[in-house]
Chain A
Amino acid sequence: DVKVTQSSRYLVKRTGEKVFLECVQDMDHENMFWYRQDPGLGLRLIYFSYDVKMKEKGDIPEGYSVSREKKERFSLILESASTNQTSMYLCASSFAGLMGYNEQFFGPGTRLTVL
């Protein structure tokens, strides 16, 4: 079974702090994704990566950055946390496959609260 793990289930930070969210997958997937999920807004893509050191902006990249130094690990960084970044953060990974896509498998999520 694919396993995607996230570093924390719950996190509380203060405004202005630098926040690191880490995600690790154990299936040698090429693609990794960061989403945030908010009531009424659904899942929105922040950033994704299709290879080590490669990244692309999603729909809402402002205020976030990412790092992928190893294939199995994808980090989301909030340079200066703000209250509007309070949300559920979900990491996902997928195998690239012949068609360049495949179903995404999600981690358990990190509930981040910024005070």
Chain B
Amino acid sequence: EDQVTQSPEALRLQEGESSSLNCSYTVSGLRGLFWYRQDPGKGPEFLFTLYSAGEEKEKERLKATLTKKESFLHITAPKPEDSATYLCAVQALGGTSYGKLTFGQGTILTVHP
């Protein structure tokens, strides 16, 4: 069974204090790993897709990296508007569930001014 574990559950940072969120996954074969941002009361907003170990993607203050067992979301010099829940999801190769994503529980990020 595919599993995704995110850590920490919650992270509080001061504005400008860089840090990383972790997503560990267990999957028979990885088709893709996805990062989303979710604001309270809203639907998840797509951030990145990573397909293979060693791949990196960047968007503003966010950088996502991927290894064979985990992914990191690095946040450089965060601002209060980066406060949100960050979700990680994986899609496995094969199987009968077409396009199914398995989500982690998320990391709640709070950035204080």
Chain A contact residues, CB within 8 Å of chain B = 4, 31, 33, 40, 42-43, 45, 48, 50, 56, 58, 90, 92, 94, 96, 99-109, 111
Contacts and interface: CB of A to CB of B under 8 A. Distances in A.
B41 A48 contact: no
| 7 residue pairs, one from A and one from B, having the closest CB atoms | A106-B43, A43-B103, A101-B99, A106-B44, A42-B105, A109-B43, A50-B98
Contact of A90 (B44, B46, B49, B97): B44
Contacts of A104: 34, 46, 99, 101
22 contacts: A4-B43, A31-B98, A31-B99, A42-B87, A42-B103, A42-B106, A43-B89, A45-B97, A48-B98, A48-B99, A56-B97, A90-B44, A100-B98, A101-B91, A101-B98, A102-B99, A103-B49, A104-B34, A106-B44, A107-B43, A108-B42, A109-B42
Interface residues of B, number: 24
Nearest to B42: A108
The B interface, classified by DSSP as helix, strand, loop or mixed, is loop
B43 A90 contact: yes
Nearest to B49: A103
Contacts, number: 64
Contacts of A105: 46
Contacts of A103: 32, 34, 46, 49
A56 B95 CA distance: 13
Given A42-B104, A42-B105, A50 B41 contact: no
Given A102-B99, A111-B41, 7 more contacts: A42-B103, A45-B101, A100-B98, A101-B91, A107-B43, A108-B42, A109-B42
